[in-house]
A and B are shown apart, each in its own frame.
Chain A
Amino acid sequence: MNPALQALIVIVVGVGGCVGYFFLSNLFLDKVLFPARGPNAGVNTSRANMIRPWLFLFPAMVALGLYLAYPVFATAWLSLNRNGEFVGLANYSAMFGEPKFWESMRNNMLWLVVVPAGSTAFGLLAAQLTDRIRWGNLAKSLIFMPMAISFVGASVIWKLIYDTRPVEQAQIGLLNALWLKFEGGIGSFLLLRLLPGLFVLAMLALLLWAVWALLRPLVKGGSAGGFWVLAGRIVGALVALFLAWELATWLVGIAGNDLPYGQPMTWLSMPYWNSYFLMAVLIWIQTGFAMVILSAALRGVPEDTIEAALLDGANPFQIFFQIKVPQIMPTIVVVWTTITIVVLKVFDIVLAMTNGQWETQVLANYMYDKLFRALDWGMGSASAMIIMLLVTPILVWNVYNARKEMR
């Protein structure tokens, strides 16, 4: 049968089936099982109302249980087996013995910190910049646009930017074309060393300030808040410290490294840096999401707090960092955790651009390699469990918050 026709039939059957199920099961409940008439009318009505929620929930619960809840346990079980035999933790120890696994872990940690930080920072910047200018909405929708583009499509787009041609040919990749404009003169010094150096230095200062701002209540004692706030502050400070350390090593590199002027670079096969070139793609996609959420949050900041700060003589930067950012902190955490989840699942970008070569492997692609190329279900499931383990803190945090909100 033609798949398109099959799709049409599935739509009709699926929708019709759903409507039919809900309608008929309700009818059955009201008219046959517990009819609301005769001597037991009152009892029957209340009984029917006890059962009805489960009629409404039944299809969704079955699908959720079968397609999301059951697989978690099944995968946990598979990860303890090899070729149908129970082997305990052998898959895990075999995996821990592979250098490729540790490479994936290292890269994933880098992704986990850099991509949410980059997306949130750019998103916050874009939200603040577009907030009060006339063409702000147009700018927003253009920055938001990459959200609609698939990871694979984005990979093609960025691969053209990173394209490399031999030195005697014209470069068609934007990055190499720009790079070859530098020849080591005064312009190169200004644009490749001084300006980036100052920028990195500014970011470094900002991060160190953030570490201090996060840890200040802990050092001074006083009202540090509950356990979660405390944990959040410590985690935030650690992340900021890690980023600061990365930036400090960059700063050393910017100051001291000899740059190979005049040679086209193969960006995607430069170990360490190529991970950043892949991360740029995801940051490019996720910034729009961060911007939309943060821009709504910025608009929700009460005007009187800003006016009060203005009366006290605060400058625009103080207003932004000390009045607005602390007030939208909960939203920043939400954006951060949501992007973290996306990062943990990132697979398409690495598969399409480098397929894990040149030390760019990440966990999700490592898992795909094990499952569908090496056909090693035990080790593949074990690495999937590692991803699950990394997601778990966010899962717990979300459930905790949702329950708090329900009360």
Chain B
Amino acid sequence: MENIAGKKPALLWVVHLCTAALVALWVLPTFGLLVSSFRTGDQISTSGWWRALSTQESQLPAIRLGGDEVQRDGVFVIEGNLFATSGAEISRWGTSSREPEAFEVGQSADLGDGVTLTVTPEGGFVMSSASSMAEMRMPRVFVTASTPPDFTTNNYSTVLFSPLAGQTIGQAFINTLTVAIPATIIPILVAAFAAYALAWMDFPGRALLVALVVGLLVVPLQLALIPLLQFHNWIGIGKGYLGIWMAHTGFGLPLAIYLLRNYMAGLPRDIIENARVDGATDFQIFVRIILPLSFPALASFAIFQFLWTWNDLLVALVFLGTGNDQQVLTGNLVNLMGSRGGDWEILSASAFVSIAVPLIVFFAMQKYLVRGLLAGSVK
């Protein structure tokens, strides 16, 4: 029972530390995006996500004043607060972008034409003038403020329910589900029957067929794009869900057959021979004995296929239309990266909506995934 983590305690500590560093390196990127997806856009663009819990002093984007004018003691006054939510504390402020830190809090600034403006640390402002300001263009205020940590779930409600790249992420979510579920279920049955034939039935050419399946396992699906698009147009289904279900079924079959055949070939011979002796037909043996016993392999493949169809971009770009009711999450995300590349609050929330389901499936069914990987890699 000796290896690098041997009996020496010092070495064991090194192993613990190295593992912790490796795990941190692998988790941090995702964690950073997760934290960002719960921060407001202002917070994301003014500080890194690792500062999310600390108060930051930063210059905020310009705020235009507004409010109703009231007349008090012969002076026209507009009062209000710069911030919609409380918590920020202003240290310096200014009224032009060239001098954003011109004034201290409490100091009153002369805006010309007899208009004066004061700002309190909490963001309250008072603008007063001897004459009416109704016709005046409201000034902009630049503030340097320390803002407390600010977390929100608004990003998620924004991306889920308001159309950003032609459609909502919520719609794309449904589209992806529509693609993934039939594309996961259909190949399983087709492959299971074929795998049984390749594992337990004797016929000439069986070894050749197995070799063919192993060969097709690595054929890049890039080659299939144009010929299949032509084929789909020729049989009249064009671009759409029917086409992508068929394509995913075809592309998933080699792995499905390979995985299931390997698993079924490992089932004990006695059970099958006994059933044959008892007069069961192959169909009965398959449905009553093989299928229930192969559940772990079926589950492994189902997870693979689900993750793959959910995460796929290329097949969806080619075989699905570009209409709003057909765009999937990955396609939507690529569009957002192009059009809203700097809006991290939107990008991060969208990305998390799209990776949430695979992550849940992954953590819930990891056992089967590992088992499938071990069986599926060509030995």
Contact = CB atoms under 8 A, between A and B. Distances in A.
Interface of A: 3-4, 6-7, 10-11, 14-15, 18-19, 22-23, 26, 30, 49-50, 52-54, 56-57, 59-61, 63-64, 66-72, 74-75, 78, 122, 125-126, 128-133, 135-136, 139, 141-153, 155-161, 163, 169-174, 177, 284, 287-289, 292-293, 296, 303, 306-307, 310, 316-317, 319-320, 324, 330, 334-335, 337-338, 341, 344-345, 347-348, 351-352, 364, 367-368, 371-372, 377, 380-381, 384-385, 387-388, 391, 394-395, 398-399, 401-403, 405-406
A75 B3 contact: no
Interface string B191-207: 10110111001110011
Given A129-B18, A133-B16, A149-B359, A405 B182 contact: no
Given A22-B193, A338-B378, A401-B379, A317 B4 contact: yes
Given A64-B213, A160-B344, A388-B223, A177 B354 contact: no
B126 interface: no
A400 to B, nearest CB: 9
B38 interface: no
Contacts of A54: 203
A306 B3 contact: yes
Given A292-B373, A399-B215, A316 B30 contact: no
24 contacts: A7-B241, A14-B186, A59-B190, A71-B227, A78-B226, A126-B22, A128-B3, A142-B23, A143-B23, A143-B26, A150-B355, A160-B36, A169-B46, A170-B48, A172-B47, A172-B49, A316-B11, A319-B2, A320-B4, A334-B379, A399-B211, A402-B210, A403-B211, A406-B210
A132 B5 contact: yes
B333 A152 contact: yes
A388 B220 contact: yes
Interface stretch (B137-145, B146-154, B156-164, B311-319): B311-319
Contacts of B111: none
B188 to A, nearest CB: 9
A22 B355 contact: no
Interface string B283-321: 100100000000000000000000100111110011000
A150 B358 contact: yes
Contacts of A163: 344
Contacts of A149: 30, 311, 355, 358-359
A128 B220 contact: no
Interface string B256-295: 0100000000000000000000000111001000000000
B359 A371 contact: no
A75 B214 CA distance: 20
B218 A348 contact: no
> Chain A binding site: helix, strand, loop or mixed by DSSP?
helix
A1 to B, nearest CB: 10
B362 interface: yes
A172 B23 contact: no
B218 A391 contact: yes
Contacts of A133: 5, 12, 15-16, 19
B242 interface: yes
Interface string B37-74: 00000001111111000000010000000000000000
Contacts of A61: 194, 209
Contacts of A385: 223
A129 B369 CA distance: 21
Nearest to B313: A348
A403 B207 contact: yes
Contacts of B245: 10, 14
B281 A151 contact: no
B334 interface: yes
Interface string B335-379: 001000000100110110011001101110010011001100111
Contacts of A371: 225-226
Contacts of B30: 145-146, 149, 157
A345 B32 contact: no
A395 B5 contact: no
B128 interface: no
Given A68-B219, A132-B5, A153 B351 contact: yes
Contacts of A367: 222
Nearest to B216: A68
Which 4 pairs, one residue from A and one from B, show the smallest C-beta to C-beta distance? A67-B250, A150-B311, A74-B227, A148-B362
B311 A68 contact: no
B182 A7 contact: yes
Contact of A71 (B46, B228, B373): B228
Contacts of B378: 334, 337-338, 398, 401-402
A64 B247 CA distance: 10
A129 to B, nearest CB: 5
A344 B220 contact: yes
Contacts of B373: 289, 292-293
A310 B7 CA distance: 12
A68 B26 contact: no
B223 A4 contact: no
Nearest to B187: A63
Contacts of B310: 150
Interface stretch (B82-90, B98-106, B113-121, B173-181): B173-181
B219 to A, nearest CB: 5
Contacts of A351: 313, 334
Contact of A306 (B2, B226, B337): B2
B330 interface: yes
Contacts of A66: 231, 250
Contacts of A324: 3
- Which of B1, B206, B213, B226 has the most C-beta atoms of chain A within 10 angstroms of its own C-beta? B226
B370 A292 contact: yes
B178 A3 contact: yes
A68 B250 contact: yes
A347 B307 contact: no
A20 to B, nearest CB: 11
